[in-house]
């Protein structure tokens, strides 16, 4: 079995006895499973080695692949970025059994994905059982956004390069393949109708209220100001997110936004995805929901600060990025808090007025008719 994590060469050989066993790094028999780290090693006969793309190609020539696993962990975006590569593997090895291993929080994103045989998201020992039976296992979780060598590439592109493959030139192929069923769309439509929004009559704007780290979040006060302006223009505004503390701050009486449909922490991820698929426009910071919206080809406005949008949005269409370069941005910090506090200066300089004007532009440029809001299976 060969476990590819595309680790930096400088780590070299590390005997298993020197591995520190923590909840983040688990060692079982001959396999190290590191779901929270951006590097790992390939354990063969109680040793750890690096496999470069050139070595990997040489190994592949000597054997057939019957079972392949792709460990798609990290945030929602990190997991999504593996989809084009899995699709590529299915085309290259049509008869192989392909597993996708991810955390339970990311599993909903992969539902109905047609290019894999099984999505696994349960306990570690079952994952190890699958990994140990595979001919080849890929794990890119977080590497594309945290390993400096690949930061200059779009994460989807970086995954192909780390595996020693040439990225396809087809932009549509390189966008994550998300499937929302007609039944899911109907349930989302019913929920919106219950909340006072009719997809056939109203223009619906979904706003993502958060990212996985504060350094990429847009100020709450800006979200409220933008929402008020859009509601005053007759749009139906839906807030989406999962942060309970943020939800409480958003609905405080003294700062209430009349007319907003607040679904933060109220609905599961699949329902949020379905609502996005029915929206006329999605607005939000660089986050999993933003990448879901862009992958679904929904008109999307992405708000960027820590990362430059050119390395995150190469394959998106109907997409507008708002980014203002200041002295410390882009810092390329993925999982850390901003040393300047919250809100991050790079996000604070993006004003509600700028986003409002961009929203009006996108709604005019990419109008959606009611019939186009029906999800396609």
d(CA 225, CA 84): 37
Q: With H, G, I as helix, E, B as strand and everything else as coil, classify residue 139.
A: strand
Structure tokens at 80: 């999504």
Give the CATH number of the domain where residue 343 resides: 3.40.50.2000
**Whether the predicted model's global pTM rises above the 0.75 cut:** yes
pLDDT, tens only, 293-332: 999 999 999 998 877 778 788 899 999 999 888 787 776 6
> Mean pLDDT score of the chain, rounded to an integer?
78
Q: Which of 74, 63, 67, 64 has its CA nearest to residue 39? A: 74
**Residue 169: inside a domain:** no
- pLDDT in the model for residue 51: 42
Residue 146: band (very low, low, confident or very high) from pLDDT cuts 50, 70, 90: low
pLDDT, tens only, 163-221: 888 999 999 999 999 999 999 999 999 999 999 999 999 999 999 998 777 777 898 89
- pLDDT in the model for residue 355: 97
**Residue 264 near residue 209, CB atoms below 8 Å:** yes
- pLDDT in the model for residue 233: 96
The answer on pLDDT for 59 being more than 80 is no
Q: Which of 162, 190, 211 is the last residue of a domain?
A: 162
- pLDDT in the model for residue 19: 34
Higher pLDDT, 254 or 45: 254
Q: Are 118 and 228 contained in the same domain?
A: no
**Residue 174: inside a domain:** no
- pLDDT in the model for residue 246: 65
Q: Are 140 and 211 contained in the same domain?
A: no
Structural domain harbouring 210:
182-373
- pLDDT in the model for residue 161: 84
Q: Are 151 and 213 contained in the same domain?
A: no
- pLDDT in the model for residue 11: 37
Q: Are 315 and 352 contained in the same domain?
A: yes
List of residues 6+ apart from 5 with CB closer than 8 A:
34, 39, 40, 41, 42, 139, 140, 143
**Residue 176: inside a domain:** no
**Residue 357: inside a domain:** yes
Of 15-29, 116-130, 345-359, which range is least confident? 15-29
Q: Which of 300, 6, 2, 293 has its CA nearest to residue 149? A: 6
- Taking residues 276-295, report their average pLDDT: 94
Give the CATH number of the domain where residue 144 resides: 3.40.50.20
How many separate domains does the chain show? 2
- pLDDT in the model for residue 124: 57
């Amino acid at each position: 079995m060969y476990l590819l994590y595309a680790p930096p060469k400088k780590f070299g050989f590390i005997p298993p006895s020197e591995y520190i066993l923590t909840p983040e790094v688990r060692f079982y028999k001959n396999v190290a499973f590191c779901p929270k780290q951006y590097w790992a090693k390939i354990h063969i006969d109680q040793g750890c080695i690096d496999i470069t793309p050139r070595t990997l190609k040489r190994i592949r020539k000597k054997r057939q692949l019957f079972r392949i696993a792709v460990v798609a962990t990290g945030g929602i975006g990190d997991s999504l970025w593996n989809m084009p590569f899995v699709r590529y593997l299915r085309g290259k090895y049509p008869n192989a059994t392909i597993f996708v291993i991810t955390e339970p929080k990311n599993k909903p994103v992969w539902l109905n994905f047609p290019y894999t045989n099984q999505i696994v998201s349960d306990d570690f020992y079952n994952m190890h059982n699958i990994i140990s039976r595979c001919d080849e296992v890929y794990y890119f979780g977080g590497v594309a956004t945290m390993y400096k060598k690949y930061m200059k590439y779009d994460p989807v592109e970086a995954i192909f390069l780390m595996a020693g493959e040439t990225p396809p030139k087809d932009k549509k192929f390189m966008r994550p393949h998300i499937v929302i069923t007609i039944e899911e769309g109907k349930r989302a439509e019913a929920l919106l109708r219950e909340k006072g929004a009719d997809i056939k009559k109203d223009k619906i704007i979904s706003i993502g209220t958060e990212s996985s780290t504060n350094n990429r979040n847009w100020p709450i006060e800006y979200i409220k100001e933008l929402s008020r302006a859009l509601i005053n223009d007759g749009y139906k505004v839906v807030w989406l997110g999962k942060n309970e503390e943020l939800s409480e701050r958003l609905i405080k009486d003294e700062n209430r936004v009349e007319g907003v449909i607040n679904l933060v922490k109220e609905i599961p991820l699949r329902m949020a995805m379905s609502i996005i698929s029915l929206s006329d426009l999605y607005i939000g910071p660089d986050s999993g929901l933003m990448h879901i919206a862009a992958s679904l080809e929904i008109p999307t406005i992405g708000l960027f600060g820590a990362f430059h949008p050119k390395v995150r949005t190469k394959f998106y269409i109907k997409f507008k990025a708002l980014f203002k370069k200041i002295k410390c941005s882009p810092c390329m910090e993925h999982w850390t808090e901003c040393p300047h506090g919250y809100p991050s200066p790079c996000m604070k300089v993006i004003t509600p007025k700028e986003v409002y004007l961009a929203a009006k532009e996108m709604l005019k440029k990419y109008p959606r008719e009611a019939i186009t809001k029906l999800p396609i299976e």
